[in-house]
Amino acid sequence: MTLSIGIVGATGAVGRKMIEVLEERVLVNAKLRFFASKKSAGTFLKYNKEKIVVEELTERAMKERFDYLLFAAGSSVSEKYAAIARDVGNVIIDNSSYWRMKKSVPLIIPEVNASVLGGYRGIIANPNCSTIQMLVALAPLHRKYRITRIVVSTYQAVSGSGQAAIEELESQLVDSNYPNKVYTRKIAGNCIPHIDVFHENGFSKEELKMVYETHKILDDNTIEINATAVRVPVTFGHSESVYIEFDSEVDREGIKNTLKDASGVIVVDDLAKNQYPTPLEIAGTDNTYVGRIRKDLYNKNAISLWIVADNLRKGAATNAVQIIEAMENIKRKENEKDV
């Protein structure tokens, strides 16, 4: 069977990464259509060596039927056009933040909560990139030991801010006088504890996303979460230092073995050989990498982890494609039951 898949925002960094991931994974029988702004319409993008023209995103186009629509555009685009596509019966997987906290919209990480997608049609939200990689690692620990508190500091690559941010970092690395336009400070040689707007409580929107999205995905509002989000001069790959408290005593080997058995997780943790994950080494991959696993010195119920993932792939494009794969697997299993 050939799947009809449309990508909205196909010419952007995440849209192009979605095309790349679709080429690499099992959905080789997908027939793709690309949509973008009027400015990009008429240009071409390649999929499996085929040149496909980019179409202008219009209401009329979104009223057509697709098996899946992947949205890699901003929140204002998703607010308008995803709703149009939903109302004619399409399945939409949206990478913007607009739909994530809507009560009726599932917020999905396939390794964590894909089971809720059986028979679902409508809008599905891709979580924030930092939330995705954290919960791929923490969800299996929560299921086994129950997490009560999370303290996380993120070290986020500039690619999370788009192509202009990548160019800004590259330019500042060769010219110290190159002005900062994307960020409030120069990013080259710097760390900026400021991602998205600040709220009155002092937390940034990015930090609160991790709080509220974690509660929704794990279906547990009792977990206490404190996040600090920092932009760092790395091109691809987000890193996170995560401190986790459980409701009972845990041991390092039990945590490590649970992570080794977890879907989508690769444990890289051998300090005698200086083995731990870094963003440079994992760029271009689809898994979540965990290292520096250690018990807290004072709290017998606590563990600290270092978590790294490619923010454009697992943090965005790959997660969206994996949602398609999960839904197709659910359909296949349901069909097998009916035979």
Q: Which two tokens stand for residue 31?
A: 């027939």
Start-end of CATH 3.40.50.720 domains in the chain: 3-127+316-338
Whether pTM > 0.85 for this model: the answer is yes
Q: Is the pLDDT of residue 26 over 90?
A: no
CB 317 within 8 A of CB 289: no
Of 129, 142, 199, 215, the catalytic one is 129
Q: How far apart are CA 41 and CA 56, in angstroms?
A: 5
Q: Which of 4, 67, 71 is nearest to 33 (CA)?
A: 4
Question: Does residue 129 carry a catalytic annotation?
Answer: yes
Report pLDDT digits (tens) over 228-253: 999 999 999 999 999 999 999 999 99
* pLDDT tens per residue across span 180-195: 999 999 999 999 999 9
The fold adopted by the segment(s) 130-312 is Dihydrodipicolinate Reductase; domain 2 (3.30.360)
Element (H, E) at 154: strand 147-156
Helix (H) or strand (E) holding 205: helix 205-218
Torsion of CA 96, 131, 17, 156, to 10 degrees: 100
238 part of the active site? yes
Domain with CATH 3.30.360.10 in the chain: 130-312
- For the structural domain made of 3-127+316-338, what CATH number should be given? 3.40.50.720
pLDDT, residue 256, reads 97
Active-site entry in 194, 199, 215, 238? 238
> What is the reported pLDDT for 28?
56
Helix (H) or strand (E) holding 113: helix 110-113
